[in-house]
């Protein structure tokens, strides 16, 4: 090897380490797993069920993510629980989404096809929502599954999973605006909740920022059961 090529070969080994991250991200299933883990810690079985993967397939994808240090795991009895590898991983996921939104016009097309009603229910601005939550002028509901709410939710939100929305509708104060949020900009739960609430005459809108986006913005996220509807 010549003198000039030796330093370059050493530099290439640096890029090989960067490539470990990009290779780990190069599968839609693994990105979905990261998106779910941004909501909180999950078992392999729970991740497999939500992503409609087999347990074996989900485990294999998680091993790839773990090898790139994007996720970490711990054992809880017979279960293995996974979580994001840290704040930088969550920031990387957000950066990837923002880059795709800025560069890929196709993303908007496929998102519109999936997020039925997105154009009808314009989301409330995050800063404005934060102001209204502080002022107590809205009822903020978290429509994700209860276990996700318990692991982290926007301060002031109450837990109203979709399967409990009908009960909430019966006692929701109609004059007061209800704001629903779920897992972020590509989650349909908030859209479904807003559509159902409006059919009952309840003033409702959605936030396309979930807990992960709220936390990244430095806004308050709390854990525990909190308030139920």
pLDDT at 2 over 60: no
Whole-number pLDDT of residue 82? 98
Mean pLDDT for the chain?
Answer: 92
Of the pLDDT bands very low, low, confident and very high (cuts 50, 70, 90), residue 3 is low
In angstroms, the CA 15 to CA 205 distance is 45
- pLDDT tens string 82-98: 999 999 999 999 999 99
Active-site residue flag, 182: yes
Question: Is the separation of the CB atoms in 121 and 195 below 8 Å?
Answer: yes
Structure tokens of 129?
A: 């929502």
pLDDT at 119 over 90: no
pLDDT at 229 over 60: no
The strand pairing partners of 180, in sequence order, are 141, 206
- Domains of the chain in start order, with CATH, are 5-93 (1.10.10.10), 114-228 (3.40.250.10)
Comparing 131-145, 152-166, 170-184, 205-219, the range with the smallest average pLDDT is 170-184
In angstroms, the CA 72 to CA 145 distance is 22
pLDDT at 164 over 80: yes
Determine which one of 44, 182, 202, 204 is catalytic: 182
In angstroms, the CA 107 to CA 110 distance is 5
- pLDDT tens string 124-141: 999 999 999 999 999 999
Which is nearest to 204 in space by CA: 226, 227, 182, 172?
172
pLDDT at 172 over 90: no
Whole-number pLDDT of residue 228? 58
- pLDDT tens string 17-59: 999 999 999 999 999 999 999 999 999 999 999 999 999 999 9
Which is nearest to 229 in space by CA: 137, 183, 131, 163?
163
């Amino acid at each position: 090897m010549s003198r000039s090529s030796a330093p370059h070969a050493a530099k290439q080994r640096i890029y090989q380490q960067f490539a470990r991250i990009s290779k780990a991200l190069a599968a839609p299933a693994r990105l979905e797993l990261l998106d779910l883990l941004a909501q909180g810690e999950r078992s392999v079985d729970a991740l497999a069920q939500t992503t409609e993967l087999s347990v074996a397939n989900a485990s294999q994808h998680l091993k790839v993510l773990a090898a790139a240090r994007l996720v970490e795991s711990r054992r809880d009895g017979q279960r293995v629980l996974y979580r994001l590898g840290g704040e930088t991983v969550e920031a990387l996921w957000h950066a990837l989404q923002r880059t795709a939104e800025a560069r890929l016009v196709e993303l908007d097309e496929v998102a519109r096809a999936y997020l039925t009603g997105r154009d009808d229910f314009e989301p409330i601005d995050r800063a404005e929502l934060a102001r209204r939550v502080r002022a107590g002028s809205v009822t903020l509901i978290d429509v994700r599954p209860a276990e996700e709410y318990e692991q982290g939710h926007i301060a002031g939100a109450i837990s109203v999973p979709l399967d409990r929305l009908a009960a909430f509708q019966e006692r929701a104060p109609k004059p007061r605006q209800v704001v629903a949020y779920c897992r972020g900009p590509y989650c349909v739960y908030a859209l479904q909740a807003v559509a159902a609430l409006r059919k009952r005459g309840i003033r409702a809108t959605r936030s396309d920022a979930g807990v992960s986006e709220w936390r990244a913005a430095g806004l308050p996220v709390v854990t525990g059961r909190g308030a139920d509807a």
